Chain A
Amino acid sequence: MSAFQGRVSSALADATLKIAIDRTTNTARTKRAAAIGAWPEFAEARELGRDIKDHVIANLEYYLTQFEANAIKTGAKVHWARTGQEACEIVVGICKAANAKSVTRSKSMLGEEIGLPHALEAAGIERVETDLAEHIIQLAGEKPSHIIWPALHKTREQVGELFRANHTDPGALASVEQMVNSARRNLREKFMAADVGISGANFLIADTGGICTVTNEGNAELTTTPPRVHIVTVGIEKLVPSMTEAMTMLRLLVRSATGAELTQYTTFHTGPKRPGDLDGPEEFHIVLVDAGRTKMLAEGLAEMLRCLRCGACMNHCVVFRQIGGHAYGSTYPGPMGSVITPSQDGIEQFQDLPRACTLNGQCGEVCPVAIPLPKLIRGWRTKAWVQGYEPAISKTALLLWRFLALRPGLYQFASNIALRFMPIFARSGWIAKMPLAGGWTTYRDLPSPQGGTFLSQYKAKHRKAAK
């Protein structure tokens, strides 16, 4: 059993996990469907969104250069990181130069991807996660299980217990509102005391050099405004040419993610505090991170760089909805994670991810930028097959089947022999157990075949008719 299958078994055995997954993903799907249903131009916007991203990815160097020049004009400092490790070193270096004891962070999957939480801790800097779900994850010492709802795997009852054990003066924690208020009380002083605030970015606006963050809790604003230093860590694929394109992307992103028309907070940050500004950071750093993105481009995964990180693909994935995010064992779970992870961390270690997919296509259908996720997932299976990672048993079976499928006469002969033996295992039409069929019959009965093959029955009938 692979490590993946081990995690799957534990996840499937966890009834509470399934309750937690269903509560959030069912609501997400219902709300997204309503939002898309109320947006007659969705299909057009989706094509536009796809074209905008493809255009930027095809002209990445041009827009990155433009973004950098404009960001510098606003007073921002722009840093380039080829790898996650380089990015972490840059961030830790800025924190140390600022003599930072405490850092607040608003939710960023890129931060998770590059291992920033760990890097900050290793550097002895206090890290305070300010997104409510990330706060829960930090208290539990876990990793996010969803890219929009990092604590999706926890029920509100479990969160209540966690807050009771960890919060100062939690008070009553019977309702979600009480839990939110307890988190707010516990986080508020941390916000104000932090030396550095670290955020991600949903968009980089090339023609202004600004960045855009979308949140529902206002924590990004409290993370980025009071501290002396604001650091943005962001993947280079987040570029859009201008505010016009950012608006198209925002509409697609938010409706697909939560089903709302807009997030509670949509903030554009451009440079540090200027003379006369009432607030804002004194230093504004933007760390542009590659971490495998140009590699994906070179590997034929350019379409994946369209991804807005909305999470719709996983909310609609039948596999994700059974096993949750942690079972994938990767930063990014679900369909988009099954495409990104093998590129970032290797197909050998993560060959289960593209395989554990029914290729039903719903992820690609709901993707707001029309990423052909099933095609890309199948592409990884092709790479895994070519590189010899297909497990020996299934490879042998497939090659034997292929040998027969290319020899129709032999195929019919072999089929008819197999079909003659199968009914031996059947009881009133159904097979509950049969050698070599355990993958099917562990959980399902197999209908016993109806005599010989269709082709042989058809041939026999025609012979009779001809006589």
Chain B
Amino acid sequence: MINMNESILINLALVILFLPVIGFIVALFLAKKVKKIFLFENFVIILAFICSVALLYLKLTYFQSKDIVSEFQWIDFGNVPLFGKLSVELGILLDNISVIMLFAVALISMLVHLFSIEYMSGDKRYNRYFAYLGIFTFSMNGIVLTHNFLMMYIFWELVGLSSYLLIGFWYEKKSASDAAKKAFIVNRIGDIGMFSGILMLFTTYHTFTSDKIFYQISQGALPFNSEFWLTVTGLLLFCGAIGKSAQFPLHVWLPDAMEGPTPVSALIHAATMVAAGVFFITRIFTMLTGDALFVIAVIGALSAFIPATIALTQNDIKKVLAYSTISQLGYMILALGVGAYTFAFFHLITHAFFKACLFLGSGSVIHNMHHEQDITKMGGLRKKMPVTYTTFLISSLAISGVPLTSGFLSKDGILAGTYAFGYATGHWLFAAAGFFVAMLTAFYMFRLIILTFHGQPKDQHKFEHAHESKFVMAMPLVVLAVLSIFIFYTPNPFNPEQGWFLSKWIKAPQISVPENARYSFMKPDAAQKTEPDVNKSETAKQEIVYSETYTEALHHAHIPAMLLSLLMAASGILLSFLFYQWKKFDPDKLAERVKPLYKLSYNKWYFDEIYDAVFVAGTVGLSKSLAWFDNTIIDGIVNFTADFTRIFSKLSGKFDNIVVDGLVNFMAYLSGFIGLIFRKFQTGKVQTYVVLVIFSLVILLFLFKTF
């Protein structure tokens, strides 16, 4: 019975994985022939969603603490010389994290599909758009389900491809095709690191399967037998996440990616694909050393802080949301870096829902404002679009961390994690950055809401024509906004730890890195160490054994962190109301007062300019100098060789013509001359020959006259 159930789960997962790709193929090849083929793609996605609900239910009901793995041998290279036994397995891993993630992807993908039916109506490549969404969903499911690094990398690149296709969907626009290229190239930089990391793991452990790798690490096998290289490998893998999750310093592609259709931004660039980086780090969390985690925490804190400051001054509704996405992803990375594994994944899921809602809400606004994206030209939309306003408000409350929302729970957990980390190690800067960013988040989100929905309309003409979205666009908003409420994750709106999500579903994996390479608080205390854990089965994941001080700190951190984050959120919201709603202060005057800071933020910290000046110009300069080298030196050598050869061959030709040919001609002439003489004998007259024969016979007779 149990085995049968397992195979049902595996089959369900495979169905969910491959349904979208069927939709993709059908929709792509019939895009021009069948007008309504997008309905098939939508049908397929809805089917996949239903399957994912079933999978989630079955997994969490029957196999809550068991990981289901199904794999098969893909290639067997046998015994490779100088390397040893080599085979590549493909397979899927169903644990609680992957089924929850799969559910989130399927749900958001389905809602975005439905939303797009109305949002994209009238587009000339309508069917192809849905086909692209299909291939994206397929690849994202692949990332979530895979149990090895090889497939992870393949699907990683596939989501990169679908992201590229969808950012550049309106490729007639120069900015869109540029943004697509930028996203692709910037991602590639991160992927180089990830690929080298995977290869390092592969050369060390001779397998791509992550469980086997982690097991070997826990047995003490390390790359090059050193913890330093384990750190390096972890950081190389993290590079992939930096690129995909748009972390500092590769975050520059995400704001530009907003050139794509807004539902795409919601699905790919807010909820799922950019979260793949975080998801990947949760997968490899067990093999990250303390040093690697510290670097990850630094990157996460920077990525949370810098984009939050940029988002304060942006006027494009989608750009603000894009920067807030980077900032929230930075939170998750920060949470992983400080060891708050469960909260990072929790935030990943809650963020996926409320950020998708925010993006779809902005899509709804943009659609009904006739593609106006500048928030300074909006205003007063609250009455015209009540559903969009309400859902947008709920999601904004969630992202700002206001109680009763999901965002409050997850963000509070992360902040508590940083707080406890500061307590355990003395690095308080992470906590400071986290709390400060929480205030900034609340501020810019409410600035966005107030400028868009409150106050007086700035563009009367567009305002007149604005109206509430149709059902297919409003329904996803409502679903996502409802999922941003605490009740789905925990019954207690102030402490998520007793809720089913964190206490039962998500468990941090056991750390497999050597003890002296961990954070001090991740080392088991002496008392716990003596406790034998032999009886536990290999697949059952154990929690991180935190030191007691850290566990205690986490408990103590909960209340102050919650109060502090509440204070931050409240002050952020209050400030934005003071500035934009009640106009007690003039934001322009403040901007004038701190002009350098304002300009820094408005110009996105000049990242694009710096990259242009350093990397783009550097590359161009390098290519130019290389081209000069090529043109003058290499070509010079080649040309010299050519000239030399030409002169040499001319001389050689002369020699040939005069000496060799002369010799040959002389021989010919000589033979001709001899022939001329001997021709005389050849008269053709028989009698002459007879005379000659007799004559010569006589001579011969005289010559040999021995008698």
A-B complex is real: no
| A residues lining the B interface (CB < 8 Å) | none
